[in-house]
Amino acid sequence: MPSRSGPVRIGVDVGGTFTDAVAVDARSFELLGQVKVPTSHDHEDGVAHGILEALEKLQADAGIGANDVSFLAHGTTQATNALLEGDVATVGIAGVGTGFDGFATRRLASLGKMELAPGRKLPVRFAPAHTPADAGAAVETLVRQGAEVIVAVEPFSVDDPEGERAVVSAARERDVLATATHEITSLYGLTKRARTAVLNAGIMPRMVSTADLVEASVRRAGITAPLMVVRGDGGVMSLPEMRHRPLLTALSGPAAGVAGALMGEKLSEGLFLETGGTSTDISVVRRGRVQVRHAHLGGRETYLPALDVRTVGIGGGSLVRFSGSAVTAVGPRSAHIAGLPYACFAPASALTGAKLVTVSPQPDDPADYVALDTVDGRRYALTLTCAANALGVVPVGSYAVAEPDAARLALQPLAAALGTSVEQAARTVLGRAVKPVRSVVEDLVREYRLDSPALVGGGGGAAAVTPFLGVESGHEWRIAAHAEVISPLGAALALVRESVERIVPGPSDADILAVRTEAESAVVGQGADPAGVEVEVTVDPQRNLIRAIATGSTELRTKDRASTVDEEAVRAAVARSVGVAPAEVHELASTAYHRVLGARARRRGLLGRFGAPVEQVRVVDGEGVLRLHSTGAVVDRTDVGSAQARVAELVDRHTRYGDGGSRAPAVWLLVGPKIADLSGVLDRDQLIALAGAELKTRATDEPLVVILEDRT
């Protein structure tokens, strides 16, 4: 088959059972092909063999030449599973320092008490390296003790890493894998920094070996595009970076899915629910960004940035529990755990005359889970998916759709036992199931103060949860296109991402610009197009914390807005977001890449009361995605040459003063293809300095839009 003429992005998701791969047109995001192959855990090349098999099948099925591939990323559960199962390497801690510093590092040997899984503690060895000159001896001692990878630890190494660098150098001279705490994070807090570095080291040997095999498989497929790996915060990183910091791939399972919702589904404000057979992962997108926090691993907080994802034990295969007279619960066991097929996917003829029975999915489980025994001696699971199909809430064309007759026959024995109709029995099951999911959804809506949030369902079991939940909660909802492959789609569409954090007492403008530049340079160094890199900078004056999060695509997206975006659909999306009729939406400003649309509407305050109508502003990019939500914003048009002075004037006018000092307004700049987010900075001078950094490479006559929002 001839190769395609345009660039193709490929995403691969390595799951516990199957490896899924998709090919996406890099310009239109059109799905060109998808394949599923068994994950090759037992092959001598491990999961890399399954990736190669998936790539070769995808290329053949979709007619994709190796030279067509401009981007390739894969997500993996390997790091997460290794940590959850306690299957990690023995880690040697080389503690650098004398006196109190030496005492502080010796205490880190207690990290060996950290239990990753029941009965599986973190295997840790310790040796002192009093001075950098002792680094070689410390490494030799640790290797003799069985250490497979070395972690260099020194108090205050974020300020002066000389000792840690000496240990890492000594280890690498002996061909021993090594890492250092200052390479993982630049935040203070010796114990938390060391804990994060030790966990990173524990999975490093396996992850580096797998990375080598995967890279070799990709090259055997003839693909020369750089190989990227999905991070736990929803972005991707280069393979060299993954070898250096494999811990960043932990918890990346839900991350790939939400990246797919963010880019493919154009979700800008709402919640993404990825439903599998056993559980639902719920994550937040606010103002066009995924929400990230430091992850807990082994029961302890780390410096690992990962999605703020909440997991509920309800999935498409969740089993119904029955007391003999009432439905008491749904889950946590699923049909997959019980080893039973879903009843609703059986032929309707096979379910005629089926009897309701209760079973124990696993030997130690209570015997109150429902199954059906058919007249031909087969047993089927009665699942949440069966109830959703019986009630008729599964959209046509969904991955989880079943024959209506089979679904109703599956629920009939339970309905008879309850003394009610099939529809009411199905509604009872769904109500029980979505109750804990709805509770988490509403908590997240309140916690993140989401405006008119949409619910987007992904995963093979999406239709078993999201439609009923959407109707019951009153939230707008939809099932993602190609929901069953949303994770590999997310990998294919994800942006390169880097997060840099620094503790700097009384940071100067130069300190803030240095952190911003470091983050920007990191994503450019991993292949992101410099013209489209966006850097979000946050300065927390109470914690003296500077955080810069940079994101960028490996290829600048330059769609022709007029030919690809439905104007009516954009206005309808803005109207839904604001809560008005489409006719009330008007354009406030535009650039070659963005439009600023607005409408006047009232917003409910913290006490539940509605205020006076104010301008609700939404920024829409060239692909029709609502990238920014703002309430009561000032929108100002200028050019790059005049922008810094104009921003200073607007900031001075809208700075608020109180007992806690001055608070500059939140500011965003629409410049070229970027939205420069300066909203995380409260200090006027720091804000102006960042604005200058964003504009320094732009032509002075280039149009620019300033959006400014008073802080309340």
Q: What is the pLDDT of residues 268-310, one digit of tens each?
A: 889 999 998 888 999 998 877 888 888 888 788 899 888 888 8
For 478-530, write each residue's pLDDT tens digit. Answer: 999 898 899 899 899 888 999 999 999 889 999 999 999 999 999 999 988 88
Q: Helix, strand or coil for residue 189?
A: coil
- pLDDT per position as a tens digit, 132-157: 999 999 999 999 999 999 999 999 99
- Identify which of 669, 661, 705 has the alpha carbon closest to the alpha carbon of residue 687: 669
Which has the closest alpha carbon to 140: 150, 130, 132, 131?
A: 150
Q: What DSSP string describes 343-365?
A: GGGS-HHHHTT-EEEEE-SSTTS
Mean pLDDT for the stretch of residues 354-375: 94
Reported as a pLDDT band with limits 50, 70 and 90, residue 1 is very low
Q: pLDDT class for 470, splitting at 50, 70, 90? A: very high
H-type helices in 150-231, by residue range?
162-173, 181-184, 190-220
pLDDT at 558 over 50: no
**What mean pLDDT value characterizes the chain?**
89
Omega before 305 cis (within 30°)? no
**Rounded Cα distance, 149 and 153, in Å:** 13
Q: How much is the pLDDT for 610? A: 58
Q: pTM value? A: 0.83
CA distance 664 to 300: 36
Place of tokens 């992005």: 9
Arithmetic mean of pLDDT, 616-642:
89
> Rounded to whole angstroms, how far apart are CA atoms 137 and 149?
15
Q: What are phi and psi of 598, to 5 degrees?
A: -150, 165
- Percent of the chain whose predicted confidence (pLDDT) is above 90: 60
CA end-to-end span of the chain:
60
Q: Helices marked H in 371-421 — which ranges? A: 384-391, 404-418
**What does DSSP say about strands 454-458 and 476-479: parallel, antiparallel, or unpaired?**
parallel
The single-letter code of the amino acid at 91 is V
What distance in Å separates the CA atoms of residue 21 and residue 61, rounded to the nearest whole number? 12
In this predicted model, which residue has the larger pLDDT, 254 or 646? 646
Q: Which long-range contacts (CB under 8 A, 24 or more apart) does 136-139 make?
A: 136/170, 136/173, 138/94, 138/167, 138/170, 139/92, 139/94, 139/167, 139/170, 139/171, 139/174, 139/176, 139/178
Q: Per residue in 599-628, pLDDT tens?
A: 998 765 544 455 678 889 999 988 788 888
Q: What is the pLDDT of residues 71-87, one digit of tens each?
A: 999 988 888 888 877 88
Q: For every residue of 213-246, which 3-state class applies, written as one string?
A: HHHHHHHHCCCCCCEEEECCCCCEEEHHHHHHCH
Distance of CA 419 to the CA centre of its chain: 44
Q: How far from the centroid of its chain's Cα atoms is residue 63's Cα?
A: 30
What is the band of 561 on the pLDDT scale with cuts at 50, 70, 90?
A: very low
150-154, 315-319, 562-566, range with the lowest pLDDT: 562-566
| Least reliable range by pLDDT among 416-430, 495-509, 547-561 | 547-561
Residue whose entry in the numeric block shows the structure tokens 């000159």: 133
**If pLDDT is split at 50, 70 and 90, which confidence band does 237 have?**
very high
> Which single residue is written with the structure tokens 């206005």?
571
Confidence tier at 93 by pLDDT (50, 70, 90): very high
